[in-house]
Amino acid sequence: MSTMGTSYYQFCPVAKAMELLDERWTLLVIRELVSGGQHFNDLRRGLPRMSPSLLSKRLQQLQRAGVIARRHSGNNVCYTLTQAGSELRPVVEALGSWGTRWIGELGDADLDPKLLLWDMHRNIDRNAVPEGRTVVHFDFPDAPRKLQRWWLVITKDGADVCDIDPGYEVAVSVTASLRRMVEIWRGDVGWGDAVGRGMLEIDGPEAMRRALPGWFTLSVFAAVPRPS
């Protein structure tokens, strides 16, 4: 137990848990693992502002704490939660529910389109999407040049995020401010509301336009009831 958070010198289990978990980024790494990330670069995509050396350090700490296991699968490395790690899911969920209810305001800097698309790509309801290849195009006119246009390529094998036009035919096109799209994703605003108020535009064949909201299950926390 060499390099873990400083001790609180308390026997209280909350304190003991926080010695491990209160360090910056740690619980977000857990969140990524809970969300299904397995490989180093998977995790990095969900934690773009975290330096690779720090991620590496955190993974080692968590491994030493018995929260994750590091395995070689083929010539790949694979991180998975142990039983102890899996049981951190309720902690992550409690934090996310609380954050959803009580941390309303997002700064502009919180609105990372890459992160948004990465999150969307892993919350797609495959059964709802048409067979074959379906491409959804997102346009955020207010975002910086390089981050304006995105494509989500959905096939039966999964979904890929592209920041350059993959060239395939686009099934549906979504245009909105980045903030609005994030709010929809978080469940702060409904698809219908946003369209009705002209805050979001969906283009494409009517059947597709109608179906699109069903393709995404939204963030896990979207359904959390908000304070009255």
Query: How many whole angstroms separate alpha carbon 195 and alpha carbon 215?
Result: 16
Binding window for a copy of itself (CB under 8 A); candidates: 4-12, 36-44, 165-173, 194-202: 4-12
Q: How many residues form the binding site for a copy of itself (CB under 8 A)?
A: 60
The span from the first CA to the last CA of the chain, in angstroms, equals 45
Closer CB to DNA, residue 53 or residue 228? 53
Measured at the CA of 181, the angle between CA 130 and CA 104, to 5 degrees, comes to 135
CB of 155 to a copy of itself, least distance (A): 26
Would residue 187 be called left, alpha or beta, if left means φ above 0 and alpha means ψ between -120 and 50 degrees?
left
Rg (CA), the chain: 19
By CB under 8 A, tell whether 117 contacts a copy of itself: no
Q: What are the angstrom distances between the C-alpha of 108 and each of 25, 112, 115, 180?
A: 20, 9, 13, 12
- Check the CA dihedral 59-65-68-70 and report its sign: positive
Which 121-140 positions form the footprint of a copy of itself (CB under 8 A)?
none
CB of 90 to a copy of itself, least distance (A): 5
Closer CB to DNA, residue 60 or residue 86? 60
Which entry of DNA, a copy of itself, none binds 99, CB below 5 to 8 A by partner kind?
a copy of itself
Question: Going residue by residue from 49 to 88, which x/- string records binding to DNA, judged by CB under 7 A?
Answer: xxxxxx-x--xx---------x-----xxxx---------
Which 205-224 positions form the footprint of a copy of itself (CB under 8 A)?
219, 221
Query: How many whole angstroms separate alpha carbon 17 and alpha carbon 60?
Result: 17
What b/e string do you get for 62-77 counting C-beta neighbours within 10 Å, with b at 16 or more? Answer: beebebbeeeeeeeee
Which 17-46 positions form the footprint of DNA (CB under 7 A)?
23-25, 39-42
Closer CB to a copy of itself, residue 116 or residue 124? 116
CB of 55 to DNA, least distance (A): 7
Closer CB to DNA, residue 25 or residue 221? 25
Q: What are the angstrom distances between the C-alpha of 52 and each of 4, 20, 40, 44?
A: 18, 19, 9, 7
Map residue 107 onto helix, strand or coil: coil
Query: How many whole angstroms separate alpha carbon 132 and alpha carbon 155?
Result: 6
Summarize as ranges the residues that interact with a copy of itself (CB under 8 A): 5-28, 31, 49, 66-67, 83-84, 87-88, 90-92, 94-103, 106-107, 109-112, 115-116, 119, 182, 185-186, 219, 221, 227
Summarize as ranges the residues that interact with DNA (CB under 7 A): 3, 5-6, 23-25, 39-42, 49-54, 56, 59-60, 70, 76-79
